[in-house]
């Protein structure tokens, strides 16, 4: 086989089946699918156990990073491709990304279509491999550029282990921390086509734990630039960044406002329903009220 697709899932029963269908529909490449069930309690385990032609690893809840460590260690193919539950891949995604994995290329991504909870098209993110690698090697937290989405990543298994794997100390920004180390070992390439569809949820990690994400990214960049004798202390700092227990109404309102803004910019009239959800959760959300009252 050429590729091991690695995915972690926690309570993803609502969208798991369509995600698995999109992975298993890949064509033109020999691959395996490894799914780590990270202690789900919602029926995820039953869906996985009933699925065919996938390798399932059940474990007590340990978080995304440790789940990815487990999944990648179980990979048998020379190339590992990531995927996130709730997202979908184009049938040619693995094949087209694999075609760019040659010479000294160690990491491949593609353009990503971001969609809303009901798969409303929001926006497309694309990038350039040389520019992303330059940014990973030199830029600070305010301008750093990475892949278009964590789930688009495809990388060489031997380079991944040589770089030191996902570091379990990073509960957040574990992808950026890995890309920083892989960028030092070879080139990065992007398929310019949209081959990955990422679903945005108002309570996604990127919104709920934004502050923790930024602080973790700062530590990852400090590790990139610091001498080796400072790494232990920095990794300890990363391990001390813990999740908040749950999203506040204000945070969820901000997520719905973001959806409203993206849909408004895309000319989609459904933006109003998300703006109304924002103000229902946070009646003092002035920006959402402003959009609703002015239509702008």
The pLDDT profile of the chain, 296 residues, written as one tens digit per residue, is 899 999 999 999 999 999 999 999 999 999 999 999 999 999 999 999 999 899 999 999 999 999 999 999 999 999 999 999 999 999 999 999 999 999 999 999 999 999 999 999 999 999 999 999 999 999 999 999 999 999 999 999 999 999 999 999 999 999 999 999 999 999 999 999 999 999 998 876 555 678 899 999 999 999 999 999 999 999 999 999 988 666 677 888 999 999 999 999 999 999 999 999 999 999 999 899 999 999 88
pLDDT at 204: 65
pLDDT at 242: 87
Of 211, 222, 132, 114, the C-alpha closest to 172 is 211
**pTM across the whole model:** 0.94
The full set of domains in the chain, from first to last, is: 3-202 (3.90.550.10), 249-294 (no CATH)
Of 174, 167, 164, the C-alpha closest to 217 is 174
Alpha-carbon dihedral sign for residues 158, 160, 166, 167: positive
Alpha-carbon dihedral sign for residues 174, 175, 176, 178: positive
């Amino acid at each position: 086989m050429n590729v091991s697709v690695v995915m972690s899932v926690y309570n993803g029963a609502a969208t798991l089946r369509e995600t698995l269908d999109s992975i298993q529909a890949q064509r033109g490449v020999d691959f395996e699918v490894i799914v780590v069930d990270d202690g789900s309690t919602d029926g995820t385990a039953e869906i996985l156990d009933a699925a065919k032609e996938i390798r399932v690893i059940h474990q007590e809840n340990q978080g995304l990073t440790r789940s990815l460590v487990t999944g990648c260690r179980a990979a048998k193919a020379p190339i590992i491709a990531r995927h996130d539950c709730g997202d979908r891949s184009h049938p040619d995604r693995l094949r087209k990304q694999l075609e760019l994995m040659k010479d000294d290329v160690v990491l491949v991504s593609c353009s990503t279509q971001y969609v809303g909870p009901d798969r409303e098209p929001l926006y497309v993110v694309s990038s350039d491999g040389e520019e992303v690698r330059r940014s990973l090697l030199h830029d600070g937290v305010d301008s750093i550029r990475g892949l278009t989405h964590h789930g688009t990543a495809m990388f060489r298994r031997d380079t991944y282990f040589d770089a030191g794997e996902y570091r379990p100390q990073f509960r957040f920004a574990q992808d950026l921390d890995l890309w920083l180390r892989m960028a030092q070992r070879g080139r990065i390439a992007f398929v310019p086509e949209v081959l990955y569809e990422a679903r945005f949820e108002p309570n996604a990690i990127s919104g709920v734990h934004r502050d923790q994400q930024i602080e973790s990214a700062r530590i990852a960049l400090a590790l990139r630039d610091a001498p080796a004798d400072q790494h232990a202390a920095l990794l300890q700092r990363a391990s001390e960044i813990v999740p908040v227990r749950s999203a506040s109404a204000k945070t969820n309102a901000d997520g719905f406002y973001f959806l409203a803004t993206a849909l408004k910019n895309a000319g989609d009239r459904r933006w109003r329903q998300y703006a109304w959800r924002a103000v229902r959760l946070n009646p003092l959300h002035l920006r959402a009220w402003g959009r609703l009252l002015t239509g702008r």
